[in-house]
Structure 1
């Protein structure tokens, strides 16, 4: 049974991210919550839904406010505002070969979905800036605020399957640059889970997660037997 749907992460996987997401999240937590978190600590939760990431980081620092939904949501709102401003004004560009890979997969009759730890507001800004919003490169986009739980839960993958009429998880591949991407794919039951080693996590870090393949460049995906 071949792959009929490839689900890609966005920031760090198909689009360049020079640690911008982590830096903005770090800044919000430090400046607004008064809690010092390092960039490596923030990178540990890259790929997760951002409200979850904020709660986790506060809890790790033994800050009792992680239980306060209103406080966490307030920090998330500030993160959305600052991240949206960054993507509206800063450079947004696809990773080497990303557009070509997505186009080639669709030429091979493999549907393409994007899923992300961002909410819909940030995602639309990002995709509009890179020229991927409302074009024929991507079949569907699922964001973390559109499901009950984001990564590492598998629900964004299942939502994409539902939207595109994919019957079996055995026909789905997951591609991402974080451990939460790999865990999402494994938890969904994807037979092909690919880690991209040129994003938020190193090759050594991704090797610790559930995966079937690790690639440095997205073009390598096209030669994997699942996609031929």
Structure 2
């Protein structure tokens, strides 16, 4: 792969999140696993609660759930003491195989994803990827994606570096592996607020995907079954979360990305940076 970046005023790469952005419409694979994980320990959490910290590394996600007052109270009743980091370690060890067991069932590509990536390749752009999944889970997801034609130029997983999202370290690893060094020539596409912050903290353009991701939380058939008026209400609610995180652009899904890249390209050519 070439390590020479031609210009600071031309797009060089797009870095995609995985679940809710490229595949798994609604980012549904981890949700049931989180609920079942806590059920194993006698604790009830809702899908909405489970979705709250989505996008961070899964250990951090479990930690964030343990800090919810109602979860902490249930744990103290069950265990007779507060959560410790050792407890989070144990829950994480239990969670990984639970998530890995279902992730293949939610590995369908979001409509338009493969076509969009092909169009980016045709423009000469590099394709990076970061994820809140760890390596064992991505060892299942990556071959499924590759068999269907999705082979990003790199993959940075939660746990690969000393800090995950919203820190920019996974983006920095992408820059290094892709051979790009002007952050303003890179676009981060993500469905979570921490994923948007990951891109912002790296100095890149950010694009939130509102309908296909965690902010909406519906599978494709559920989304398609909604009346148009209800779709619009939910679209606005999901988009507002991503805008609040600082997303430069918000679209329904990656199928709508190309016009955004055209707009960013025009801004870069005029010397405008994120």
TM-score w.r.t. structure 1 length? Answer: 0.90
Equivalent-residue separation in structure 2 for 1:65 and 1:117 (angstroms): 26
| Alignment of structure 1 residues 149-164 onto 2, 5 Å | 149-164=163-178
- Which of structures 1 and 2 has the bigger CA Rg? 2
| Alignment of structure 1 residues 169-208 onto 2, 5 Å | 169-190=183-204, 192-198=205-211, 199-201=213-215, 202-208=238-244
Aligned to 2:117: 102
1:226 matches 2:264: yes
1:38 matches 2:32: no
Equivalent-residue separation in structure 2 for 1:26 and 1:158 (angstroms): 33
Equivalent-residue separation in structure 1 for 2:239 and 2:176 (angstroms): 32
Contact 1:102/1:137 (8 A) holds in 2:
no
Contact 2:197/2:246 (8 A) holds in 1:
yes
Instruction: Quote the offset at 1:131 in angstroms.
Output: 2.6
Gaps of 5+ in 1: none
Question: Does the residue aligned with 1:140 lie in a helix, a strand or coil?
Answer: coil
Question: Does the residue aligned with 2:246 lie in a helix, a strand or coil?
Answer: coil
Instruction: Quote the offset at 1:9 in angstroms.
Output: 0.6
Question: Does the residue aligned with 1:146 lie in a helix, a strand or coil?
Answer: coil
Instruction: Quote the offset at 1:91 in angstroms.
Output: 4.7
Contact 2:208/2:251 (8 A) holds in 1:
yes
Question: Does the residue aligned with 1:131 lie in a helix, a strand or coil?
Answer: helix
Equivalent-residue separation in structure 1 for 2:87 and 2:30 (angstroms): 20
Distance 1:136 1:99, change over 3 A: closer
Equivalent-residue separation in structure 2 for 1:25 and 1:136 (angstroms): 27
Instruction: Quote the offset at 1:69 in angstroms.
Output: 2.8
| CA RMSD between the two structures | 2.0
Range with bigger deviation, 79-88 or 147-156 = 79-88
Contact 2:13/2:185 (8 A) holds in 1:
yes
Question: Does the residue aligned with 1:145 lie in a helix, a strand or coil?
Answer: coil
| Alignment of structure 1 residues 52-201 onto 2, 5 Å | 52-61=60-69, 62=72, 65-66=82-83, 68-88=84-104, 90-131=105-146, 137-190=151-204, 192-198=205-211, 199-201=213-215
TM-score w.r.t. structure 2 length? Answer: 0.76
Equivalent-residue separation in structure 2 for 1:175 and 1:100 (angstroms): 15
Question: Does the residue aligned with 1:174 lie in a helix, a strand or coil?
Answer: strand
| Correspondence for 2:10 among 2, 27, 39 | 2
Equivalent-residue separation in structure 2 for 1:3 and 1:75 (angstroms): 41
Gaps of 5+ in 2: 1-8, 76-80, 216-237, 267-274
Equivalent-residue separation in structure 1 for 2:131 and 2:248 (angstroms): 21
Contact 1:3/1:171 (8 A) holds in 2:
yes
Aligned to 2:31: 22
